[in-house]
């Protein structure tokens, strides 16, 4: 566990999540930005890292053993912490049950806790939950002093689980100025398409491969795709490399693995357009990073994405799973540089509305409300 330097009179918040360096995914990107925001001056931000290796994500028994060991460490860390609020960042499935246990430990030690829902498929997870699991989930949500979701679209999903006064919509945030690239003419060569995200079916890689194959069949060849990201499931990277090879896409595709910091930023600054064709997404923070870099974005109508991207104004949106529409959108932006410029400039202005200087105030209000009212009674 680590904490930001802060005087003892500042309230302490313990964040439970996945922290860099280096790691992949939206939760890690969000928490990295939060630790560098003004919240770190107003509050002492302690952290408890919940990352799991690809091996542990694949093998449930190993994951269970790791989870039990880490839960014991968390109990001891919490006793030594001066935190008044435990802020738990959760995904769906096994990750949710692990995080719910941390909330339970926090409540038993008299701390207020917040459940912050990030998982892109959390809607299906809740709707498909059997009754016996729903009872445990209801306890986790019911004991929380606050529940945070990332979009207005998801608010009704939690209406039966969380009292309105404890449910907050707080979007993801970035440090938008950190992504601005220097003005200048476009470098010569093929149009550079960038994808940043876990290499997985959930992120739409199957549809992306099919869309690129369709472009080549239509004679569109003046592009190259850079793929940045680690594996969501052990072996997915090798599987997609093999699949795209069999589709004859090798001359147009480059796999670069996980990139962070300035290495990732260099790819944003070299790109001409960005694509994230997710089948499900809670927010899609990499879309914001691309927009702040001045890139036009092609993404899908899922989760919060339509709340910050207006199709035709800040980028182009398609329905999840529609590879034909994805190919059409890619073709439009590959061939139309003025359109790329117009969408990219509008998207950059839109990304400023999701800067930490703006969104951080919503988290401050949440913490202030909880600290003023104290933890919910057990």
Q: Are residues 166 and 183 in the same domain?
A: no
- Per-residue model confidence as pLDDT tens digits over 37-53: 999 999 999 999 988 76
**Centroid of chain to Cα 136:** 25
Q: Are residues 15 and 153 in the same domain?
A: yes
CA–CA dist 253, 147 (Å, integer): 40
Q: Are residues 91 and 221 in the same domain?
A: no
Q: How many CB atoms lie within 10 A of CB 31?
A: 24
CA–CA dist 135, 129 (Å, integer): 10
Tokens representing 70 are: 């880490």
Q: How many domains does one find in the chain?
A: 2
Q: Among 94-98, 184-188, 276-280, where is mean pLDDT lowest?
A: 184-188
Does the pLDDT of residue 57 top 80, yes or no? no
Question: Who wins on pLDDT, 159 or 278?
Answer: 278
Q: Give residue 187's region: left, alpha or beta (phi > 0; psi -120 to 50).
A: beta
Which residue, among 296, 300, 305, has the nearest Cα to 273 in the 3D structure?
A: 296
Domain that holds residue 153: 2-173+356-373
Does the pLDDT of residue 288 top 50, yes or no? yes
Which residue, among 299, 11, 28, has the nearest Cα to 174 in the 3D structure?
A: 28
Which residue, among 202, 195, 199, 194, has the nearest Cα to 237 in the 3D structure?
A: 199
Q: Are residues 112 and 181 in the same domain?
A: no
Does the pLDDT of residue 189 top 60, yes or no? yes
Q: What's the pLDDT at 132? A: 92
Contact 326, 2 (CB under 8 A): no
DSSP readout, 108-173? HTT-EEEEEE--TTHHHHHHT--HHHHHHHHHHHHH-SEEEES-GGGGGGGTTTS-GGGEEE----
339 inside domain: yes
Q: What is the mean pLDDT of residues 15-29?
A: 82
378 inside domain: no
Q: What's the pLDDT at 375? A: 47
Residues composing the chain: 378
**Confidence grade of residue 128 (pLDDT, cut at 50, 70, 90):** very high
Question: Who wins on pLDDT, 149 or 120?
Answer: 149
Q: Are residues 131 and 201 in the same domain?
A: no
* Average pLDDT across the chain, whole number: 92
Q: Are residues 214 and 322 in the same domain?
A: yes
Q: Are residues 243 and 168 in the same domain?
A: no
Q: What's the pLDDT at 140? A: 95
Q: Are residues 125 and 254 in the same domain?
A: no
Non-local (6+) Cβ contacts of 135 within 8 A are none
- Per-residue model confidence as pLDDT tens digits over 200-216: 999 999 999 999 999 99
161 inside domain: yes
140 inside domain: yes
Q: Are residues 43 and 159 in the same domain?
A: yes
Contact 296, 287 (CB under 8 A): no
Q: What angle do CA 230, 231, 235 make, to 5 degrees?
A: 135
Q: What are phi and psi of 260, to 5 degrees?
A: -135, 170
Q: Are residues 159 and 240 in the same domain?
A: no
Does the pLDDT of residue 7 top 70, yes or no? no
Does the pLDDT of residue 88 top 90, yes or no? yes
Pairing of strands 2-3, 44-49: antiparallel
**The CATH number of the domain where 100 resides is what?**
3.40.50.2000
Q: Are residues 145 and 211 in the same domain?
A: no
Q: Are residues 85 and 61 in the same domain?
A: yes
- Per-residue model confidence as pLDDT tens digits over 141-163: 999 999 999 999 999 999 889 99
């Amino acid at each position: 566990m680590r904490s930001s330097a802060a005087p003892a009179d500042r309230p302490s918040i313990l964040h439970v999540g996945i922290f860099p360096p280096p790691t992949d995914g939206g939760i890690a990107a969000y928490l990295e930005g939060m630790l560098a925001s003004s919240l770190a001056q107003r509050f002492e931000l302690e952290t408890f890292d919940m990352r799991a290796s690809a091996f542990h994500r694949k093998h449930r028994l190993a994951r269970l053993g790791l989870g039990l060991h880490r839960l014991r460490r968390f109990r001891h860390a919490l006793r030594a912490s001066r935190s008044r609020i435990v802020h738990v960042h959760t995904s769906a499935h096994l990750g949710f049950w692990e995080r719910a246990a941390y909330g339970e430990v926090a409540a038993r030690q008299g701390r207020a806790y917040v459940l912050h829902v990030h998982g892109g498929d959390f809607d299906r997870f809740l709707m498909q939950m059997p009754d016996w699991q729903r009872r445990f989930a209801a306890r986790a949500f019911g004991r929380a002093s606050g529940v945070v979701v990332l979009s207005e679209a998801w608010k009704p999903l939690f209406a039966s689980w969380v009292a309105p006064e404890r449910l907050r919509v707080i979007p993801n945030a970035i440090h938008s100025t950190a992504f601005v690239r220097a003005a200048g003419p476009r470098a010569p060569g093929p149009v550079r398409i960038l994808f940043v995200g876990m290499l997985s079916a959930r992120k739409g890689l199957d549809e992306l491969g099919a869309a690129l194959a369709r472009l080549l069949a239509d004679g569109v060849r003046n592009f190259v795709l850079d793929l940045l990201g680690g594996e969501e499931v052990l072996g997915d990277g090798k599987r997609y490399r093999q699949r795209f090879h069999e589709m004859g896409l090798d001359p147009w595709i480059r796999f670069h693995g996980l990139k962070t910091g300035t290495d990732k930023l260099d790819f944003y600054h070299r790109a001409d357009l960005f694509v994230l064709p997710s089948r499900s997404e809670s927010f899609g923070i990499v879309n914001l990073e691309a927009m702040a870099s001045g890139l036009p974005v092609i993404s899908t109508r899922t989760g919060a994405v339509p709340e910050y991207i207006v199709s035709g104004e800040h980028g182009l949106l398609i329905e999840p799973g529609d590879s034909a529409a994805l190919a059409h959108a890619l073709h439009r932006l590959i061939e139309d540089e003025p359109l790329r410029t117009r969408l990219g400039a509008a998207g950059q202005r839109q990304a400023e509305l999701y800067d930490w200087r703006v969104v951080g105030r919503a988290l401050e209000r949440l913490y202030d409300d909880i600290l003023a009212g104290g933890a919910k009674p057990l």
